[in-house]
Structure formats: structure tokens, C-alpha cells
């Protein structure tokens, strides 16, 4: 439904429909939002800023951040710095980890580990996924080691997250 609306409607009209569907369809509209982001990145940014300022539509904001990846990291950085909604911040952290500068992503990952929202459950898995992106782009053993030590000491890591960390250690820090 979402993709057909984006394909046939004017971007602003499609965005209004997606906004109404977002709480009902949760993660099932990602491709529609990404397509809309490709069509009109300015509209995505303006809509996100308006919803953030009003403090409304958290599911919609989370999807808007996903859509912003098409246009770059600036909107994800804004969401990371200013959005109080955890699902929006998780999406922003993943985008920053993949397309932000290594220093920016490294800083955001350390801040995430200082936050109770990212210390356990799905939050820490997002940090591990972001770390995996940064480790591959960084190549700096010092950056990798600092984050790896912090993550490995987290008692709430799932077994699958620990496996990812072991793989990162073997791949990027073979002598440790």
C-alpha cells in the first residue's frame, strides 16, 4: 500500500497518507519512506523538523529518519542530538554509524553506551550493529578497542551480540 501511494501521489500527499499509516504498520513502510526520501529529501527534512518541534508522531519520525539516509546524515545527526523518542534515536544511531564520519559515529556510540536506553535489550543490539559498521570503516585499532572493551563488559548483551563482538575482535584486533 505504502509504495503504491508514493508511486502515484504527489510527494506531499503521499507523506500525509504515510503519516496516518505509520502507527498502524510500524516497520512495514520503510521502503515507501525510502522511496519518498529519494523523491523529495527536502520534504522529509521539513516534515521531520515540524513533527519534532510539535513532539508528535514518533513512529512517523522514526521512518522519516530512515528516509533521510538517501539525502545524507545531517537529519540523522539532528535526530540523535535532539529527539527524545528512543526508536527515532536508534534509527539515527544506525544511520550515523553507516554514513557519518568515523569520529562522529564513534562519539555517538560512546554516548549511547552512557545512556540507560541503550544499555540493554534492543538498544544495546543497535549499538553493536552500529559498532560493526564503524569498525569496518575505521580500521583504527584504538577506536575499535575502546568501544569493544565497553561493549564486552555489558552484562545485558545477547549471545548473538557477543558473537558479533568476537568476530570484530578476530578481524580487526587479531593480536589481542
Distance CA 76, CA 85 (A): 13
Contact 89, 126 (CB under 8 A): no
Percent of the chain with pLDDT over 70: 99
Query: pLDDT of 86-104, one tens digit each?
Result: 999 999 999 999 988 899 9
What confidence tens digit (pLDDT) does each residue in 3-32 have? 899 999 999 999 999 999 999 987 789 999
* Cβ-proximal residues to 10 (8 Å cutoff; 6+ apart), any chain: none
What does 35-84 look like in DSSP terms, one character per residue? HHHHH-HHHHHHHHHHHHHHT--HHHHHHHHHHHTTT-SHHHHHHHHH--
Amino acid at each position: 500500500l505504502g509504495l503504491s501511494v508514493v508511486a502515484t501521489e504527489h510527494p506531499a500527499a503521499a507523506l500525509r497518507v504515510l503519516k496516518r499509516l505509520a502507527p498502524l504498520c510500524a516497520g512495514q513502510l520503510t521502503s515507501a519512506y525510502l522511496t519518498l526520501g529519494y523523491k523529495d529529501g527536502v520534504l522529509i527534512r521539513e516534515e521531520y523538523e515540524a513533527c519534532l518541534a510539535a513532539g508528535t508522531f514518533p513512529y512517523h519520525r522514526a521512518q522519516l529518519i530512515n528516509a533521510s539516509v538517501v539525502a545524507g546524515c545531517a537529519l540523522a545527526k539532528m535526530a540523535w542530538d535532539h529527539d527524545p523518542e528512543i526508536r527515532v534515536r536508534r534509527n539515527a544511531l544506525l544511520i550515523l554509524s553507516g554514513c557519518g564520519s568515523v569520529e562522529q559515529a564513534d562519539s555517538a556510540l560512546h554516548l549511547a553506551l552512557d545512556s540507560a536506553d541503550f544499555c540493554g535489550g534492543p538498544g544495546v543490539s543497535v549499538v553493536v550493529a552500529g559498532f560493526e559498521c564503524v569498525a569496518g570503516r575505521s580500521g583504527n585499532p584504538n577506536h575499535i578497542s575502546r568501544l569493544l572493551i565497553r561493549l564486552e563488559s555489558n552484562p545485558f548483551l545477547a549471545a548473538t551480540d557477543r558473537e558479533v563482538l568476537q568476530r570484530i575482535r578476530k578481524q580487526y584486533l587479531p593480536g589481542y
